[in-house]
Amino acid sequence: MSTRLARGGRYLDRSRPLAFTFNGRRMHGLAGDTLASALLANGQMLVGRSFKYHRPRGIVAAGVEEPNALVNLGAGGRFEPNQRATTTELFDGLTARSQNHWPGLGFDIGALGGLAARVLPAGFYYKTFIHPRPFWKHVFEPVLRQSAGLGAAPRERDADRYEHFHVFTDTLIIGGGVAGLHAAKQAGAAGRRVLLLEQSAHWGGRGPVDGGRIDGMPIDDWVNVTLHTLNDMPNVTLRARITGAGVYDHGYVLGYERVADHAPDAGGPRHRLWRIRAARVITATGAIERPLSFAGNDVPGVMLASALRDYVVNYGVSAGERTVIVTNNDDAYRTAIALQRAGLSVPCIVDARPDSSGVLPAQARALGIRVKTGTAIAGVKGRRRVAGVALCRHAGTGTVTERIACDVVAMSGGWSPVVHLWSHCGGKLIWDAAAAHFRPDPAQPPTNQAGDGFVRAVGAANGDLHLSGILPGGTAPAEAPPVPVWMMPLGADIGKRARMWLDYQNDVKVTDVQLAAQEGYESVEHAKRYTTLGMATDQGKLGNINGLAVLSDALKAPVPQVGTTTFRPPYTPISMGAIAGEARGHVFQPIRRTPIHDWHTAQGAVFEPVGLWRRPYCFPRPGECRADAVMREVTGARTRLGLFDASTLGKILVKGPDAGRFMDMLYTNMMSTLQPGRCRYGLMCNENGFLMDDGVVARLDDTTFLAHTTTGGAGHVHAHMESWLQCEWWDWQVYTADVTEQWAQIAVVGPKARAVLEKLGWNLGARALPLMAWAEGRIGAFDVRVFRISFSGELSFEVAVPASQGRALWDALLEAGAEFNATPYGTEAMHVMRAEKGFIMIGDETDGTVTPQDLGLGWAISRKKADYLGKRAQARRHMTDPDRWRLVGLQTLDGTVLPDGAYALAKGENSAGQRNTQGRVTSSYHSPTLGCGIAMGLVKHGPDRMGEVLAFSTTDGGTVLARIVSPVFYDPKGTAQNA
Amino acid sequence: MLILRCPYCGVHADETELTPGGEAHLTRPGPGASDDDFEGYLFRRRNPRGVHFERWCHTCGCGKWFHAARCTVTHQVFGTYSAQTTEPPGAIIAAIRARRPDWTPT
């Protein structure tokens, strides 16, 4: 039984008890505890069930490498699954629940699957559930989903807020252990701007637990002195609770700060993502102890040797009363010594090496601890808790030589430097055969923009596991080299190998990796994906090296030749909230509002997003549905007076001596011949010949054009212009400016349009302004520019005023228009009217594969010009193919509205067994003017097939018949707009 | 996350401030171009493993297009230069040769 010791615990404040619950059970811990240490202090070793076999699992580690102790943390808006108990700092009122079991942690029905562990090897799912095909979707997957997965998904909106923080520094040091502190002192003394990050709440790393002396001081004292020195350096910044999550190109590093996880009600953001640019990065990320592969190494109570002494020294917690230690190195003897000194029983140290005669083994023996060399663990007794171990000769097949009763097994398979951050951005590794680990190859560091290495690994992260190698004043007992042990005993049979866990979280065993090799998964990357080794939330921090050593043994290839899988950021999981930062809710993206927006809002307009703009879709009156509002708005504009906020329309000024020449290249039409005072509808194609935007161009004077673009197109049309001006025709004297937001523009539409403007005091000679002309002047108190252009087919004036006067003009038009029943209309009425008139809409009739010729707009393509963007492409064979689908109008025989996007069916099927098609609907509306459904579409040979009836598919599998007609449904002679 | 120095405004711009524009120094063939030449101009792009010349736009800065010489493997940047040129300037070629003696322009 694990329990709190009467003494010890460097991190604890025994005067501050904290209450928390685990699976609804009330427990008590102390300030300074992690959730894991507090659980152990309450006798709770069993913390979860494994992913695949639902085996009972206990706490294994004391840090970020913990694979088993994942919990559902918190509740409601603060619920978060898969939180590591070993890095969760305890606070008063914490609630945690264990994961991945049903109905309970103690009794789990899924564990019956564990009995079948031997028939569920690697690749089982791939092989078994592939046939019959439909069964996956309808039978296998729903059942497997029910039993798979770790934590539960949150259901509520996240109650906390998050933020990003941008930092620049000369030297970024990641890891606040002895090596990181020493590096910070050096860089700080050299005058560099230094940022030192530590992932935990505590400085000093493993040093104070592992012992030794620096400059003659105990480690704790040296850490305190050094922290004092660093805090006095104005150029050095120390921050705890920040993980160096990833190292990226050109010195970009992400830091993940848990600001409030340990104090959820303290206010401020919960997490902060540090976006750091550093000239140099020093990784002082330490090393992680490896488990040993022996039968039953996943039974709760089998733990890492280093974690065991962490719990004793840092948290005053013993994991059990009798601990057997199994090792291949000297370091694990520290655990034996620490336990013995804490008054706990260590009945035996099992050392796989034939000989152990170093300083630490001698100290252990001197304390009276029994050491058995050349010995291995043959098996672990116990199911939900270790009850004992059976020993055997390491060099043999596992014949039991002795049984020892114990409730904890402390294992140590040696140490793996944390090389993740070094590797993220391309740093290479070398295999250190003597130490049996990969460490950074200083000759192949990650390189920056200058091609120079910018990352340096120090301390244990660099493979320097001994204090004397980390800093000059460090002294610690010398250690004999470890002997690599990838499996114990060496001759273990398959029965034992099938119970040796490599990856606890994903339930990968030695036999799984061996099976992968046998089945031809020779690449470590393939074997990983076949077995799922290292693919869990711990990303194989414990098991990967052991797994690839097993793979290399099975492939009979040396470890460095098999290599490691790719290390990818983040080093430990980071929250989605931290990634999103402030970008949520109303600040997720900027919203553009016209000067008339507030009026729309006050009228209860239904808004639709168009790019970043919010445009009124329609203005429903009380009791009116949207469709009815749209019909009313169309009729109002067609019969009397409509008002439309067209301010979002893109407006780009093109000015300069070469402006005409430039406009001729941008548009398919001839724009250079346009006279000042006149407007021309223009088409803009990309270099591929496809239509990208359209709009009315007004010539303001000899050297100035005002190009109107679509609402959504202004930004990229302006960028398109600049790209050609800067990169292709840079010697042309042309300037462009996007003036969209400088102007408010209101379309005054309908038979009474002229009357309302005259009533307001129009002095431009309303009758003199012909269609496709514009004039500048005054209407009443307003300085205006009036364009006589029509996108509705009605008599129409678009009145532009400086944005600051937009709302006043709108109000004046409403007031003056009241006697004409002025009807403000939204984008949907605008769409219906343009469709009735047969006007195309970019994004409806076009989708990036449609040419002007497809849309019957050949009249807007100049034959006189030698060149324009898209001209050569439009001569390519496919573009001139007479079989291209071309624009027509479509009218259903029964008067209904065609489904938008529906396909026109043709005879026969294609090679994929799909029905052949001969056209599709591009726009479809109910027309209140005609009293029936109208549509536009692209149809093969369409304009040559007037009057023909086509069948269109509907979403319910049926068809609807429609006749090919002219796309101009309303006023083909233009009587209304010319009035 | 690259950093490229904008040659116009001098800012060492983060990748998030920039818009990539693909291969630099394409020659736009006139309207009389052959099908093959025009197809090449529209679609065929070099994708070298190593030194590459690219277009970038300092979109969230001064708005200017510029060119960068960059190694596609290591992201080493040999230099950035004006977009208003039809070929990489001599200084850029020299900077590449200084770090990659075996490199030859193609």
Q: What is the ipTM of this complex?
A: 0.97
Q: Is the backbone of residue A22 left (phi > 0), alpha (psi -120 to 50) or beta?
A: beta
| Each residue's pLDDT tens digit, A850-877 | 999 999 999 999 999 999 999 999 999 9
Residues A455, A582 within the same domain: yes
Q: How confident is the model at residue A768 (pLDDT cuts 50, 70, 90)?
A: confident
Alpha-carbon distance of A898 to A73, in angstroms, equals 51
Residues A207, A230 within the same domain: yes
Q: Average the pLDDT over A68-90 and give the result.
A: 95
Shortest CA distance from A425: residue in chain B: B74
Q: Kindly report the CATH number assigned to the domain that includes residue A362.
A: 3.50.50.60
User: Which of B5, B18, B42 best probes binding to A when mutated, by most A CB atoms within 10 angstroms?
Assistant: B42
User: Which of B26, B51, B74, B87 best probes binding to A when mutated, by most A CB atoms within 10 angstroms?
Assistant: B74
Tally the C-alpha atoms within 13 A of residue A588's C-alpha that lie toward its C-beta: 5
| Each residue's pLDDT tens digit, A297-333 | 999 999 999 999 999 999 999 999 999 999 999 999 9
| pLDDT for A115 beyond 70 | no
| Chain B CB contacts of A250 below 8 Å | 1-3, 75
* Close Cβ partners of A71 (under 8 Å, ≥ 6 residues apart): A22, A35, A47, A48, A82, A83, A85, A88, A96, A97, A98, A99, A151
Q: Which of A873, A883, A877, A836 is nearest to A851 (CA)?
A: A873
Chain A: closest CA distance from residue B106 (Å):
21
Domain that holds residue A520: 500-570
* Close Cβ partners of A193 (under 8 Å, ≥ 6 residues apart): A169, A170, A171, A235
Q: Average the pLDDT over B10-19 and give the result.
A: 96
Tally the C-alpha atoms within 13 A of residue A950's C-alpha that lie toward its C-beta: 31
Q: Kindly report the CATH number assigned to the domain that includes residue A524.
A: 1.10.10
Q: What is the pLDDT of residue A50?
A: 83
Tally the C-alpha atoms within 13 A of residue A718's C-alpha that lie toward its C-beta: 21
| Chain B CB contacts of A251 below 8 Å | 3
Q: Average the pLDDT over A402-428 and give the result.
A: 97
Residue pair A414/A326 in contact by the 8 Å Cβ criterion: no
Q: What is the pLDDT of residue A441?
A: 98
Q: Average the pLDDT over A143-153 and give the result.
A: 64
Q: What is the pLDDT of residue A144?
A: 58
Residues A334, A426 within the same domain: no
Residue pair A391/A404 in contact by the 8 Å Cβ criterion: yes
Residues A319, A352 within the same domain: yes
Residues A348, A471 within the same domain: no
Tally the C-alpha atoms within 13 A of residue A55's C-alpha that lie toward its C-beta: 26
Q: What is the pLDDT of residue A547?
A: 95
Q: Which of A252, A451, A688 sits opposite B99 (nearest CB)?
A: A451
Shortest CA distance from B33: residue in chain A: A872
| Each residue's pLDDT tens digit, A194-229 | 999 999 999 999 999 999 999 999 999 999 999 999
Lowest mean pLDDT among A225-234, A379-388, A528-537: A528-537
- For chain A, the average pLDDT equals 94
Answer yes or no: do B1 and A719 touch at CB < 8 A: no
Chain B: closest CA distance from residue A712 (Å):
18
Q: What is the pLDDT of residue B104?
A: 87
Shortest CA distance from A876: residue in chain B: B35
Q: Average the pLDDT over A927-949 and give the result.
A: 97
Q: How confident is the model at residue A128 (pLDDT cuts 50, 70, 90)?
A: low
Shortest CA distance from B26: residue in chain A: A728
Chosen domain end from A538, A570, A602: A570
Q: What is the pLDDT of residue A857?
A: 96
Answer yes or no: do B76 and A450 touch at CB < 8 A: yes
Residue A745 in any domain: the answer is: no
Residues A584, A447 within the same domain: yes
Residue corresponding to tokens 């609770």: A241
Lowest mean pLDDT among A137-151, A172-186, A746-760, B54-68: A137-151
Alpha-carbon distance of A512 to A509, in angstroms, equals 5
Q: Kindly report the CATH number assigned to the domain that includes residue A949.
A: 2.40.30.110
Which amino acid is it at A607? F
Alpha-carbon distance of A56 to B98, in angstroms, equals 61
Give, in order, the Cα–Cα distances in Å from A445 to each of A277, A424, A449, A454, A462.
17, 11, 13, 7, 12
Alpha-carbon distance of A764 to A776, in angstroms, equals 8
Residue A760 in any domain: the answer is: no
* Close Cβ partners of A282 (under 8 Å, ≥ 6 residues apart): A171, A172, A173, A174, A180, A183, A187, A455, A456, A457, A458
| pLDDT for B10 beyond 70 | yes
Choose between A78 and A130: higher pLDDT. A78
In degrees and rounded to multiples of 5, residue A217 shows phi and psi of: -100, 150
Q: What is the pLDDT of residue B24?
A: 97
| pLDDT for A230 beyond 90 | yes
* Structure tokens, A379: 């098996």
Q: What is the pLDDT of residue A482?
A: 93
pLDDT above 90 covers a percentage of chain A that reads 90
What global pTM score does this model have? 0.91
Q: How confident is the model at residue A139 (pLDDT cuts 50, 70, 90)?
A: low
Beta strand ranges found along A594-649 (DSSP E): 606-610, 613-618, 642-645
| DSSP symbols for A152-216 | PPP-SPP-S-EEEEEEEEEEEEE--BHHHHHHHHHHHHTT--EEEEESSS-SBTTHHHH--EETT
Residues A203, A93 within the same domain: no
| Each residue's pLDDT tens digit, A783-830 | 999 999 999 999 999 999 999 999 999 999 999 999 999 999 999 999
Q: What is the pLDDT of residue A397?
A: 95
Residues of B with CB under 8 A from a CB of A: 1-3, 14, 21, 28-31, 33, 35, 38-39, 42, 55, 57, 59, 63-65, 71, 74-77, 83-84, 99
Residues A167, A195 within the same domain: yes
| Chain B CB contacts of A722 below 8 Å | 63, 65
Residues A273, A220 within the same domain: yes
Chain A: closest CA distance from residue B83 (Å):
6
Residue A271 in any domain: the answer is: yes
Residue A593 in any domain: the answer is: no
Answer yes or no: do A449 and B75 touch at CB < 8 A: yes
- For chain B, the average pLDDT equals 95
Residue pair A2/A43 in contact by the 8 Å Cβ criterion: yes
Q: Does domain B3-99 have CATH number 3.30.460.80?
A: no
| pLDDT for A644 beyond 70 | yes
Q: Average the pLDDT over B22-42 and give the result.
A: 95
Alpha-carbon distance of A281 to A471, in angstroms, equals 18
| Each residue's pLDDT tens digit, A245-296 | 999 999 999 999 999 999 998 889 999 999 999 999 999 999 999 999 999 9
Residues A306, A166 within the same domain: no
Q: Which of B21, B33, B64 sits opposite A872 (nearest CB)?
A: B33
Residue A678 in any domain: the answer is: no
| Each residue's pLDDT tens digit, A608-639 | 999 999 999 999 999 999 999 999 999 999 99
DSSP state of A484: -
Q: What is the pLDDT of residue A266?
A: 86
Residue A758 in any domain: the answer is: no
Q: How confident is the model at residue A153 (pLDDT cuts 50, 70, 90)?
A: confident
Q: With an 8 Å Cβ cutoff, is A250 touching chain B?
A: yes
| pLDDT for A110 beyond 70 | no
Number of domains in chain A: 5
Which amino acid is it at A726? Q
Chosen domain end from A113, A133, A148: A113
* Structure tokens, A418: 């944390």
Residue corresponding to tokens 């507030």: A598
In the three-class reduction of DSSP (H, G, I as helix; E, B as strand; rest coil), residue A878 is classed as helix
Answer yes or no: do B76 and A872 touch at CB < 8 A: no
Alpha-carbon distance of A196 to A806, in angstroms, equals 54
Residue A689 in any domain: the answer is: no
Q: Which of B14, B30, B77 sits opposite A867 (nearest CB)?
A: B30
Chain A: closest CA distance from residue B89 (Å):
15
Q: Which of A494, A488, A712 is nearest to A609 (CA)?
A: A712
Q: Which of A730, A685, A867, A667 is nearest to B30 (CA)?
A: A867
The rounded Cα A79 to chain-centroid distance in angstroms is 20
Residues 853-882 of A with CB under 8 A from B: 866-867, 871-873, 875-877
Choose between A128 and B65: higher pLDDT. B65
* Structure tokens, A280: 């140099």
Q: What is the pLDDT of residue A137?
A: 65
Alpha-carbon distance of A302 to A411, in angstroms, equals 7
Q: Average the pLDDT over A160-179 and give the result.
A: 97
| pLDDT for A135 beyond 70 | no
* Close Cβ partners of A348 (under 8 Å, ≥ 6 residues apart): A324, A325, A369, A370, A371, A372, A391, A404
| Chain B CB contacts of A277 below 8 Å | 3, 14
Residue pair A53/A507 in contact by the 8 Å Cβ criterion: yes
Q: What is the pLDDT of residue A813?
A: 98
| Each residue's pLDDT tens digit, A490-541 | 999 999 999 999 999 889 999 999 999 999 998 999 999 999 999 888 899 9
CA torsion angle for A233, A238, A244, A249 (degrees, to 10)? -30
Residues A364, A430 within the same domain: no
Q: What is the pLDDT of residue A273?
A: 98
CA angle at residue A253 from A249 to A258, to 5 degrees? 155
Q: How confident is the model at residue A121 (pLDDT cuts 50, 70, 90)?
A: low
Q: How confident is the model at residue A112 (pLDDT cuts 50, 70, 90)?
A: low
Q: Which residues sit opposite A393 in a β-bridge?
A: A375
Residue pair A175/A181 in contact by the 8 Å Cβ criterion: no
Q: Which of A251, A447, A719 sits opposite B74 (nearest CB)?
A: A447
* Structure tokens, A763: 């002095």
Shortest CA distance from B68: residue in chain A: A449
The rounded Cα A151 to chain-centroid distance in angstroms is 19
Q: What is the pLDDT of residue A882?
A: 95
Residues A348, A448 within the same domain: no
pLDDT above 70 covers a percentage of chain A that reads 95
